[in-house]
Amino acid sequence: MPAFRSFSLPLSPGAQTVPDMPAGFHPDGLLSGLNFCEGGADSPPVAPSGQSDNLHPEGLLLGGLNLGGAGADIDAWANGAHTPGFPDLSGAMRGTLNNSGPEDRARGIGEALEGTKLAAEGTHGLGALTVLGAGAGRAAPIIEGLEGVNRGFVIPLTIGKGIADTFSDVHGGAPLGEAIVGNGLRSGLVLGGAALGQAIIPVPIVGGAIGGYVADQYLPRGSMMGHGIIQGMIDYPPQPLDYL
């Protein structure tokens, strides 16, 4: 028998037997043949996997039936009013349900800057490709002009995105130091990705644009990087993020 040992049912003290229980339920704690009361009512809830930190704070949810918290649905089972529902995931989705704060506006500015940079690089590349396809040489003035214009875009817009992301993370609750360090490092890595892409993909403009785009897609959020760096330099163990 697996270690299902903590599904304590909060029955009232005098309720040794509960009438009209659903099939398979036993007042000693056997539900469908599994003993959920092995650890006793005072044991902390433990999931079947043994991972107690995966549990919902309100109690353990099993198919919409709250078996572990105070005021569990046993009364609903008893009077037939229980209807199976979906687990409450609002805790896990909290960060995505409330997205109209200043951090999201700053994040939007950052994404707009990054999008402007990459769209400019891409359209410069397409422009150069069109000109070359029309028969112009590599050293045609329009190609040099496109490359010159593109050169001025990349660094300022990457730095601008880093600043906007820093504001976003600070508004979202990140410590200022972690946001600055993390987003500074992130901007540097995005530029590094662009430089590496420009080196290993020997196509003007396009190599850097692709390298920067892939780096930006795959790097974690700046405040998370800053959190790891700064907490890693402090003696006590890294603390979990509480603002995401």
Partner 1 sequence: MVLARFSFPWALISLAGIFFVLYAFGKIYFSHATDIVFWILVPFLPFLILYGWDIFRALVFHGGRAVWIVDGILIFLPYGWPKSLNTFFYSIPLNALDRFSTGSMETGSFVTWLPGIRLHLKSGGYLQIPSYLLEEPRDVILARLNQALAENR
Minimum CB separation of residue 162 from partner 1 in Å reads: 15
Residues 146, 148, 153, 154, Cα dihedral to 10°? 100
By beta-carbon proximity to partner 1, the closer residue of 65 and 128 is 128
By beta-carbon proximity to partner 1, the closer residue of 173 and 188 is 188
Among 6, 8, 66, 150, binds partner 1 (CB under 8 A): 150
3-state class (DSSP) for residue 25:
strand
Give the total of residues touching partner 1 (CB under 8 A): 45
Residues 172-201 that bind partner 1 (CB under 8 A): 191, 194-201
Q: What are the structure tokens assigned to 107, written together?
A: 């994040």
By beta-carbon proximity to partner 1, the closer residue of 160 and 207 is 207
By beta-carbon proximity to partner 1, the closer residue of 43 and 123 is 123
Is 210 near partner 1 (CB under 8 A)? Answer: yes
DSSP string covering 29-86, please? SEETTEE--TT-TTSPP--TTS-GGGS-TT--EETTEE-SSTT-THHHHHHT------
By beta-carbon proximity to partner 1, the closer residue of 189 and 196 is 196
Among 30, 89, 92, 129, binds partner 1 (CB under 8 A): 129
By beta-carbon proximity to partner 1, the closer residue of 41 and 155 is 155
Among 46, 60, 113, 118, binds partner 1 (CB under 8 A): 118
Is 93 near partner 1 (CB under 8 A)? Answer: no
Smallest CA-to-CA distance from 24 within 77, 70, 68 is with: 77
Q: Please give the Cα distance from 89 to 96 (Å, whole number).
A: 12
Which of these ranges, 67-75, 98-106, 150-158, 166-174, lies near partner 1 under the rule CB under 8 A? 150-158
Q: Which amino acid, 23?
A: A
3-state class (DSSP) for residue 223:
helix
Is 122 near partner 1 (CB under 8 A)? Answer: yes
User: Please, what is the end-to-end C-alpha distance for the chain in angstroms?
Assistant: 38
User: Quick check: 197 and 212 in contact, CB under 8 A?
Assistant: yes
Among 44, 99, 101, 151, binds partner 1 (CB under 8 A): 151
Minimum CB separation of residue 111 from partner 1 in Å reads: 9
Q: Is 49 exposed, middle or buried (0-12, 13-18, 19+ CB in 10 A)?
A: exposed
Binding site for partner 1 (CB under 8 A): 115, 118-119, 122-126, 128-129, 132, 137-140, 144, 146-147, 150-151, 154-155, 191, 194-211, 213-214, 217-218
